[in-house]
Structure 1
């Protein structure tokens, strides 16, 4: 049998010839992903930054050679997979960095091939309607009215502060807990807002008495303060007392934003969604389904209570949303984002919601939360380790008993350098903790035991 000719590198991904051009290329990609994973041999490439960089440079060679290399796809995908931190490996548990579902990744390929841009209807006729339907449904799940797509929590938080500033006529001051994500004070800086008021969070969540004092003491007309609460802190997965914070905001006439980038996925779970009671009282809510939603990056949203708050995003560009086109019935998409060119990231989310349903996604949430509790039990029962507290979502903080902060940091870096495990770090109670964020629904109890054994071996080594 004759060998088929190699794919034409100039072939288009879409159109009538697209499927035929893509099939052999997808086989190459899938094969290279597998060989790269096996070459890596663990959750992270061994050797540390310099060794990983050297291997990547060797594989890449000339970035722009005079003549093309038909092996480039295979070589570079293999190199990227070999040098990847793999969130699908149970020993890769440092960050809010989930392994994406296969069905979501497949849907994302379709979005890439069709390549719509959601800045005008004539570039994305079906995608724009799909986005409107899905974002509205997810907003309703959170108890709000509408939502717009973002690249993640950072953009959502930035947009929330922008909407707050504009809704109050240009002047607003951010009040956030010491536990808040760094993107919130950064957004205040970018938007030229006054220095934020930072409320203590000594136990990892906002101190309500301190928040009350701040709202009482900070000068400004009613509505000029924006309180940002957190539903799932980055360090420990803790949830601020949302109903009580909402009550204080109502009493003081403050606007409320809730950053639920981490914890928003609990909405899918009948068992855990009550932890987010109070979310519906917010003016804006950050959601991020490339965390507890198993979506490929990016999959962020900002949900709003009052859709008219989004009116401030409106812009007019004759080539995209001319007045006569809008009057004739063509949808105006420029008011749905701070960005102009936007890919249809909502497709993978729509496919996931439709394929798994709320109960299917809820089961995944319940599973990772249960695994986190099991891991906490293992740590609590082990005399060589100290557990910070029981997990609220799926983040577990622990440290070797009696270890110094320097020793804790060295354990983590040693595991990273050897490529044996990926753990995060968090500072609470003025001590450094190892952080395991369990987002892999395929993690088994023996994987948890193996992870603890690796840490124990590195500690004693």
Structure 2
């Protein structure tokens, strides 16, 4: 089968040449593309991009020139993409990626380790566990803690609520959900979270057989944090009505506002009522590396489970996240054994015992390389810069005529605001959002608060400065002025 040497990396000269040739060409094309300083987005409409992609050939019979395929990819895919590395990209929790992490992605792809069984991920198993232990120590978790890498917040939040459900059924009713399915009383189980919590709390409840009706949303205070006094009253109301409050799902960095619930007080409330405390720190967990702001995580070490994403303020390529538990014994609710994969009698570290996934990527390597090459000092500086920029931006927007700011004192680096208009504020803000997007000069997000249209800066990019923010607002202001002039002319 010598004709296949060009397709796989090995010791053969043909393989080495093929590998170096295609990687070198890819590297040169990407470097040249970014050297030309592309806009955040080229401004094409969705239907135009869809047509261009539709014209691409799906496959070939006899294979094609790598140069030809790469040329088409650059023209149809890369040029039509959102460029998150651009300092004007300020929309979602969608970060630029660190160069060491990009290099790690190549190693991950070449090795192609599967993190389920030890004999598929020998050294990778121990590097992931080493990094999990380091992160647990950073979070000040107990020695009994453990964790695993995940695809991100959705999977981690799902795991947290799954463990909360099974733990409650086991401890309260001596009921084994793994073997017996849900008990008759399951329809009375309740999860309490902030009204600003991530949608995956409700999504997970529906997938876990509890239904969206199991999620009780607690109102937030002026800082968009869960109101603890309301939470406590609701827990007692539920109990007196015959329901079973089993879990408090706290948020450390809400998607829209970056607000952080009072973790210490929520820990007390959970403990007093025999409830599991899950903390969704997908966004805010990166503060563990911030010298100025790590104190905002106070209380997270007492949670029963914790979600952290690395493809946000750890600047890792998607996807990369982690899930932690206070007691490693909690993973018993996920553990299954197969003779061909992780037989019970084997004394080896099979990481599949801690995950809802079987095949899983060696994502720990890219975070590990980033931490080693970039260093904790610069991670801290990058995170602190974006939070300081958000504070400056919020203050400046607050003092700008015709703009309303919801969170004028941002906890992380997200600011929600809108341009005011007596006739049609929703139409105005949607118009100027689209105008900026299709100009390609910048990218911000849109969201709805109490049914009204708002705009949002998510300032994740450490390369973004106040100059880029002001440039975006200047463009938005001009569009707002044009919109209002048209209104007046009608």
* TM-score where L is the length of structure 1: 0.92
**1:412 is the counterpart of 2:433:** yes
* Cα distance between partner residues in 1 of 2:442 and 2:267: 40
Listed as ranges, the gaps of 5+ residues in structure 1 are 1-6
* Count of aligned residue pairs for this structure pair: 450
**1:200 is the counterpart of 2:200:** no
Aligned to 2:354: 336
Aligned to 1:362: 380
**1:175 is the counterpart of 2:170:** no
* Cα distance between partner residues in 1 of 2:259 and 2:22: 44
**1:459 is the counterpart of 2:480:** yes
**1:22 is the counterpart of 2:39:** no
**1:217 is the counterpart of 2:237:** yes
Deviation of 1:310 after TM superposition, in Å, equals: 0.7
On the 8 A contact 2:441/2:472 being kept in 1, the answer is no
Of 42, 55, 68, which aligns to 2:63?
Answer: 68
Aligned-residue RMSD, C-alpha: 2.3
Deviations 1:261-318 (A, max 9, x none): 0000011011001111111121001000101110001111111101100122211111
* Cα distance between partner residues in 2 of 1:29 and 1:375: 38
**1:138 is the counterpart of 2:127:** no
On the 8 A contact 1:206/1:241 being kept in 2, the answer is yes
Deviations 1:357-401 (A, max 9, x none): 322211111111112122223323322322222221111122223
* Cα distance between partner residues in 1 of 2:194 and 2:285: 18
CA shift in 2, pair 1:82/1:39, >3 Å: farther
Of 19, 29, 32, which aligns to 2:29?
Answer: 32
* Cα distance between partner residues in 2 of 1:9 and 1:373: 55
On the 8 A contact 1:138/1:147 being kept in 2, the answer is no
Deviation of 1:448 after TM superposition, in Å, equals: 1.8
Deviations 1:155-182 (A, max 9, x none): 0000101111121224542111111100
Deviations 1:385-440 (A, max 9, x none): 22222221111122223361121111112222332321112233553221010111
* Cα distance between partner residues in 1 of 2:431 and 2:4: 49
CA shift in 2, pair 1:55/1:210, >3 Å: same
Listed as ranges, the gaps of 5+ residues in structure 2 are 171-176, 178-185, 483-490
* Cα distance between partner residues in 2 of 1:333 and 1:223: 32
* Cα distance between partner residues in 1 of 2:50 and 2:28: 23
On the 8 A contact 2:44/2:80 being kept in 1, the answer is no
Deviation of 1:444 after TM superposition, in Å, equals: 2.3
Aligned to 1:155: 155
**1:188 is the counterpart of 2:183:** no
* Cα distance between partner residues in 2 of 1:14 and 1:43: 38
| Of 138-147 and 213-222, the range deviating more from structure 2 | 213-222
Deviation of 1:191 after TM superposition, in Å, equals: 0.4
On the 8 A contact 1:223/1:253 being kept in 2, the answer is no
On the 8 A contact 1:98/1:291 being kept in 2, the answer is yes
* Cα distance between partner residues in 2 of 1:240 and 1:119: 34
Aligned to 2:395: 377
* Cα distance between partner residues in 2 of 1:74 and 1:110: 24
Aligned to 2:410: 391
1:70-149 alignment, distance < 5 Å: 70=65, 71-144=68-141, 145-149=145-149
On the 8 A contact 1:228/1:259 being kept in 2, the answer is yes
* Cα distance between partner residues in 1 of 2:296 and 2:384: 13
On the 8 A contact 1:261/1:288 being kept in 2, the answer is yes
